[in-house]
Amino acid sequence: MDGLKVIRSATANAPAPATPSDLLINRELSQLAFNRRVLELAEDESIPLLERLRFLCISSTNLDEFFEIRVAGLKQQVALGIGTLSPDGLSPQEQLTQIYTHAHALVDDQYRVLNEILIPALEAEDIRFVRRTEWNEAQAHWVKNYFLRELLPVLSPLGLDPSHPFPRILNKSLNFVVTLEGKDAFGRDSGVALVQAPRSLPRLIRLPERISRKGYHFVFLSSILHTHVGELFPGMQVLGCAQFRATRNSDLFVAEEEIDDLLIALQGELPSRNYGDAVRLEVADNCSERATRFLLQKFKLQPEDLYRVNGPVNLNRLLAMHEFVDRSDLKYRSFIPALPKSLTSRANLFERIAKDDILLHHPYQSFTPVIEFIRQAALDPNVLAIKQTLYRTDTKSELVELLVAAARAGKEVTVVIELRARFDEEANIKLANRLQDAGAHVLYGVLDHKTHAKLALVVRREKNRLKRYVHLGTGNYHAGTARAYTDFGLLTCDRIIGEDVHKIFQQLTGLGRVSRLRKLMQSPFSLHKEILGKIEREIEHAANGKTGHIMARMNALIESQVIRTLYRASQAGVKVELIVRGICGLRPGIPGVSDNITVRSVMGRFLEHARVFYFHNGGEYEVYCSSADWMPRNFFRRVEVCFPIEDDRLRERVLKESLLYFLADNTQAWELQPDGTYKRVRPGNRKPRSAQAELLRELAGA
């Protein structure tokens, strides 16, 4: 913290800032600002309408996870009396106070966008959410039959009294609080009941075409249940019925130093995720004050934890419309990811990689060569061993099936599966068991360090010697996200890189001291130190009158020592251009501190996921791709890899495709201001440029 305070005092006639917040942006508020940018995409009329609805849903999903993890953690700190300050100098309670202000405003804007912008625009396209007050006779008749046929048999209303206490409410589940008048068959008159909507039922139901005239007409499950809730309480009068949803702490805690088997420990913890402490309550705006106070009391929440909404309490469920509605004109134009020109569908990848490194830029270029790399390794009699890390992958992953086949064929297959990949723990446990049953060596990484590196190593016998082939990536081995996330992958048989990857797998699977890597940088051992060293080198070049220039692209930047060093680089005259999609703790444009630093966030059709770092290095510039953001967890608590792009042609490609295009984007970019707000970049009189659109044209021919 002190290091941050002295930066400006060294600048002539510049007073030192009073607090750390003058130089750092709070992580939590930066994450909320990111969600606001996602919501802005839902308002962008240049984006197809159903995609705008999807962005609204994404902003809601992101906010759910923010409460489940980040807000839950801060609430725990307050409850335990932990007063540790954030890097920007705020206590946990001070952060929560600011979060409440920003989160309530964000939720209000989400429902404003839904009700005032998207719903009218959808209705103009004959896509309607038909409210229960608007049902005609035929629709009302169909809805009643649907309720009797599909809902009533599976609903279990819960009357509340001393023998029926308030039930355990599942995290983020849809529920209804019902206020009643009268006595039931047993003479009970508690006046309050709950109805839990089964998760097996859809939340959005399309009305048949014969009763919806034309277009696509939908009703909410909540509307159906609300209309017919009286059927669940015969002989009693329903005074009120309102939907609600509770968000709970979903972070898993496993004391790793006290367990013998991480897989068994996680299996024991997973069921508790759905029943952690409540951190947020959402209620429909028709929920009475009495019912609201009752729910707050039962969930042990305060008024600031309450979010009263004008619409469905779970916006995420609207995402189903994207699949329901067959209107290609309201969606992004489809495209087929291309193969690199040097590859054919029948190429022998080992022969091809032996000639030149292969660079893949997903999703513009196909993920198929990565799958084919493992397929050919599994089938090739000359391949002796396959080693791979898996952080997140498909639930029915073709890659996993290929590894299973390779193991059953007698090859040495070693897979490092990260069981603690948040919200993918259960899926990864199933994958681990599947691979173990096939005879693969399955390991769960290193205690206290998540294995986040994306590595695949194939050992092949060629002319009586062993040769290593490697895939390194910035994204997961997940064919699904490879169609939606932008990432780089490198296929190479470079001898030194192969040796480095071999050493990393030795670390992950065995015991021993850290081996020195010659080309790769690795967390938690060398990456932080070497990134700082490369920034210092640019400072030295600038001090000697040479050009100093850094360009870096990542998902998040909050590590304070890196930020301090970038501030010093700016003061030394180094030009620093940062593309940070999400959280950023650095304040650009502070006079005397960060004048030479710009930060922009580029967001659009694809989620920008690649991490790319450029250092001018006196004209001998270096380009690296990495699995790691510049965050404390990536530098110190994860196994990460940062790899060089050494081929001149490929280095130029990465520089252009991941940095230069995005620095020139003037349609899907936001620039971070010194006060922590973001300003949308507009083309003005310039030619509109979209990095993602240009890459679609160049790489995918779309």
DSSP 99-128: HHHHHHHHHHHHHHIIIIIIHHHHHHTTEE
CA 689 to chain centre: 26
Strand, helix or coil at 330?
A: helix
Alpha-carbon distance of 304 to 2, in angstroms, equals 34
pLDDT confidence tier of residue 519, bands split at 50, 70 and 90: very high
pLDDT of the residue at 262: 52
Cβ–Cβ under 8 Å, residues 622 and 615: yes
Domain 349-519 sits in which CATH superfamily?
Answer: Endonuclease Chain A (3.30.870.10)
Alpha-carbon distance of 437 to 495, in angstroms, equals 33
Q: How far from each other are the two terminal CA atoms of the chain, in whole angstroms?
A: 49
Tell me which of 159-163, 401-405, 543-547, 550-554 is least confident.
Answer: 159-163
| Nearest alpha carbon to residue 457 among 466, 448, 446 | 466
Structure tokens at 447: 């205690």
pLDDT of the residue at 258: 43
Cβ–Cβ under 8 Å, residues 535 and 551: no
Catalytic residue among 217, 361, 449, 452: 452
pLDDT of the residue at 3: 46
Cβ–Cβ under 8 Å, residues 406 and 413: yes
7: part of which helix (H) or strand (E)? Answer: helix 2-9
Structure tokens at 223: 């509307």
Alpha-carbon distance of 568 to 558, in angstroms, equals 16
Annotation marks residue 104 as catalytic = no
Print burial letters for 516-555: b (CB count within 10 Å at least 16), e (below 16).
ebebbbbbbbbbbeebbebbebbbebbeeeeebbbbbbbb
**383 contact partners, CB below 8 Å, separation of at least 6:** 377, 406, 411, 458, 459, 460, 461
| Nearest alpha carbon to residue 386 among 367, 373, 368 | 373
**What is the DSSP-derived secondary structure letter of residue 148?**
I
CA 549 to chain centre: 30
pLDDT in tens, 307-330: 999 999 999 999 999 989 999 999
Alpha-carbon distance of 633 to 448, in angstroms, equals 11
Residue range 493-512: average pLDDT? 92
> Which residue type is seen at 353?
I
**Which bin fits 523, alpha (ψ -120 to 50), beta or left (φ > 0)?**
beta
What count of other Cβ atoms lies within 10 Å of the Cβ of residue 195?
Answer: 21
Residue range 324-350: average pLDDT? 89
Tell me which of 231-235, 359-363, 608-612, 656-660 is least confident.
Answer: 231-235
pLDDT confidence tier of residue 461, bands split at 50, 70 and 90: very high
Cβ–Cβ under 8 Å, residues 291 and 240: yes
Structure tokens at 630: 């510049």
Say if residue 5's pLDDT is above 60: no
Cβ–Cβ under 8 Å, residues 615 and 494: no
Cβ–Cβ under 8 Å, residues 527 and 628: yes
| Nearest alpha carbon to residue 473 among 512, 501, 436, 449 | 501
Cβ–Cβ under 8 Å, residues 120 and 52: no
Say if residue 425's pLDDT is above 90: no
pLDDT confidence tier of residue 53, bands split at 50, 70 and 90: very high
Bridge-based pairing of strands 669-672 and 521-523 is unpaired
Beta bridge partners of 280: 247
CATH number for domain 2-96, candidates 3.40.1800, 1.20.58, 2.60.40, 1.10.287: 1.20.58
Can you give the length of the chain in residues?
702
**Bond into 303 cis (ω within 30):** no
- Burial of 684: CB neighbours in 10 Å, binned 0-12, 13-18, 19+: exposed
**145 contact partners, CB below 8 Å, separation of at least 6:** none
pLDDT of the residue at 125: 95
pLDDT confidence tier of residue 6, bands split at 50, 70 and 90: very low
pLDDT confidence tier of residue 512, bands split at 50, 70 and 90: confident
**366 contact partners, CB below 8 Å, separation of at least 6:** 337, 338, 339, 360
CA 454 to chain centre: 17
Cβ–Cβ under 8 Å, residues 143 and 224: yes
Tell me which of 192-201, 265-274, 394-403 is least confident.
Answer: 265-274
pLDDT of the residue at 13: 47
| Nearest alpha carbon to residue 635 among 528, 520, 562 | 528
pLDDT of the residue at 426: 72
pLDDT of the residue at 256: 46
Say if residue 257's pLDDT is above 70: no
User: Which residue reads 């699995």 in tokens?
Assistant: 627
Alpha-carbon distance of 23 to 516, in angstroms, equals 35
Which ranges of 211-343 does DSSP label H, i.e. alpha helix?
Answer: 221-228, 262-269, 289-299, 320-324
| Nearest alpha carbon to residue 690 among 624, 628, 604, 617 | 604
DSSP 673-689: -TTS-EEE---TTSPP-
Q: What is the pTM of this model?
A: 0.91
Tell me the longest C-alpha to C-alpha distance in the chain.
90
Residue range 420-444: average pLDDT? 77
pLDDT confidence tier of residue 511, bands split at 50, 70 and 90: confident
**Bond into 363 cis (ω within 30):** yes
Class of domain 522-700: alpha beta
pLDDT in tens, 72-86: 999 999 998 998 999
pLDDT of the residue at 615: 98
Say if residue 263's pLDDT is above 80: no
Residue range 602-614: average pLDDT? 96
**What is the DSSP-derived secondary structure letter of residue 78?**
H
> Which residue type is seen at 98?
Q
Structure tokens at 324: 């329901």
Count of helix runs (H) and strand runs (E) in the chain = 22, 27
Strand, helix or coil at 338?
A: strand
DSSP 440-489: -EEE--BTTBEE--EEEEEEEEETTEEEEEEEEESS-S-TTGGGTEEEEE
pLDDT in tens, 625-635: 999 999 999 99
> Which residue type is seen at 315?
L
Say if residue 145's pLDDT is above 90: yes
Say if residue 610's pLDDT is above 70: yes
pLDDT confidence tier of residue 487, bands split at 50, 70 and 90: very high
User: Which residue reads 């005032």 in tokens?
Assistant: 116
Residues of the chain with CATH 3.30.870.10: 349-519, 522-700
Beta bridge partners of 232: none
Structure tokens at 645: 């792009």
**What is the DSSP-derived secondary structure letter of residue 185?**
T
CATH code for residues 125-330: 3.30.1840.10
Cβ–Cβ under 8 Å, residues 283 and 243: yes
| Nearest alpha carbon to residue 305 among 244, 251, 349, 264 | 244
Specify the higher pLDDT residue, 535 or 430.
535
pLDDT of the residue at 418: 81
Residues of the chain with CATH 1.20.58: 2-96
pLDDT in tens, 164-203: 778 888 899 999 999 988 776 656 666 888 999 988 888 8
pLDDT of the residue at 572: 97
Alpha-carbon distance of 57 to 175, in angstroms, equals 20
Calculate the average pLDDT of the chain: 90
Say if residue 29's pLDDT is above 70: yes
pLDDT in tens, 203-254: 899 999 888 878 899 999 999 999 999 998 888 889 999 999 999 988 755 4
